[in-house]
Amino acid sequence: MKPELTDIDMSIWERELEDFVPEYVFDAHTHIWSEAHKGSNTEDSSALRLPVSLEVLHALSSMLFPNRKLGYLMLATPLKDIDYEGHNTWIAEEAKFSNNVPLPVIPSMLIVPSMTYEYVKTHALSTKVRVLKPYRVFARDPKECDITEFLPEQILEVADELHMIVTLHLSKALGPADEKNLKDLEYLTKKYPNVTWILAHCARAFNSAHLERSVQRLAAMETVFVDTSAVCDPFSHYLILKYLDRQKILFGTDNISAGALRGTYITFGYGWEGYWQKEHLEHCDHRCTFISYEQLRSQRQAAIMARLSNDEIEHVFYKNSLKLFSDQG
């Protein structure tokens, strides 16, 4: 995957984004992957299965964010039946090759429900990893599973003991608006007060209708943060700016597998899906830009509506992340 900037990309960047994106950008939601750790997973065609090292990630991000000083949270790639131990060790090693990256590079650890308290604690202490990445695909019912079905409490006990961060992609059709999800988060944040939660994708609010019904309850949870990755609904970004503590909002892209694709995420009813470039539309320029640019356009629109100051914009793009991950060091 070697995307290049086109004239439409450059036009959008120069006209809409150049003056919005600050000098420093910390991307709190990226994924890296190596086929060396595919294990017995030889047929999975997931879009996440894209070989990406830190070097590749940084090269692409530098293209998307020209003349910006960058840093990353590198999330593990959640594929079933891979070499989990090898993948986790590799991510921790990749973070060491960050001499050419101006801001910090933070590794993570992929979590599967079968992992024991002892294994997670030993790996976290030996690699100094402080971010856990569970995912719903490891539950029996990935669509409607409870949080603890793919993030068991024996692992949360380690996370609480070591003051760790969990990047969580919510399950269930209504995502953040699901009552069971909300009650579980309220319970878990109180039971494990030393765990910091990053709810990915604006708390999985690709469709703002879900967030509108839940954002005030999420905002009341002291240890809940959100990242902004891949959300192209301006109202979702506006809602988190309006109701959440703005120092709990972290910029992210979901690069490379999502953010670097050409298209956007569209909403309908209570759903959403990816829209990809069409061959021809007579009434307009039919070409798509990157999802990460569409996300940035939505964030800019929300920032205008919420009247964010330049300092608040800088907090979203990098200051909040640097403080959060520094506190965990």
Neighbouring C-alpha atoms within 13 Å toward the C-beta of 301:
14
The identity of residue 222, as a single letter, is E
- The Cα 106–Cα 172 span in angstroms is 29
For residue 43, what are its two tokens? 């047929």
Write b or e for each residue in 249-268: b if 16 or more Cβ atoms lie within 10 A of its Cβ, otherwise e: bbbbbbbbbbbbbbbbbebe
**pLDDT value at position 33?**
96
- The Cα 131–Cα 120 span in angstroms is 11
CB 237 within 8 A of CB 302: yes
- The Cα 203–Cα 167 span in angstroms is 10
Q: Do strands 165-168 and 131-133 pair parallel, antiparallel, or not at all (unpaired)?
A: parallel
CB 283 within 8 A of CB 269: no
CB 1 within 8 A of CB 50: yes
**pLDDT value at position 42?**
82
Architecture of domain 7-327: Alpha-Beta Barrel (3.20)
- Peptide bond preceding 256: is omega within 30 degrees of 0, i.e. cis? yes
Please give the DSSP secondary-structure letter assigned to residue 181.
H
Kindly report the backbone phi and psi dihedral angles of residue 37, in degrees, each rounded to the nearest multiple of 5, phi listed first.
-115, 25
Length of the chain, in residues: 329
Location of structure tokens 């719903």: 136
Burial grade of 276 (CB within 10 A; 0-12, 13-18, 19 or more) = exposed
**pLDDT value at position 153?**
98
CB 130 within 8 A of CB 124: yes
Kindly report the backbone phi and psi dihedral angles of residue 227, in degrees, each rounded to the nearest multiple of 5, phi listed first.
-110, 160
- The Cα 80–Cα 83 span in angstroms is 9
The identity of residue 294, as a single letter, is E
Q: What count of other Cβ atoms lies within 10 Å of the Cβ of residue 136?
A: 22
pLDDT in tens, 177-215: 999 999 999 999 999 999 999 999 999 999 999 999 999
In terms of pTM, does the model score above 0.85?
yes
Q: Provide DSSP, 35-94.
A: GGG-TT--S---TT---B-HHHHHHHHHHHSTT-EEEEEEE----TTS-HHHHHHHHHHH
Burial grade of 284 (CB within 10 A; 0-12, 13-18, 19 or more) = exposed
Name the residue among 186, 159, 274, 166 with its Cα closest to residue 227. 166
Which residues in the chain come in under a pLDDT of 70?
Answer: 1, 278-279, 328-329
- The Cα 41–Cα 294 span in angstroms is 32
**pLDDT value at position 281?**
77
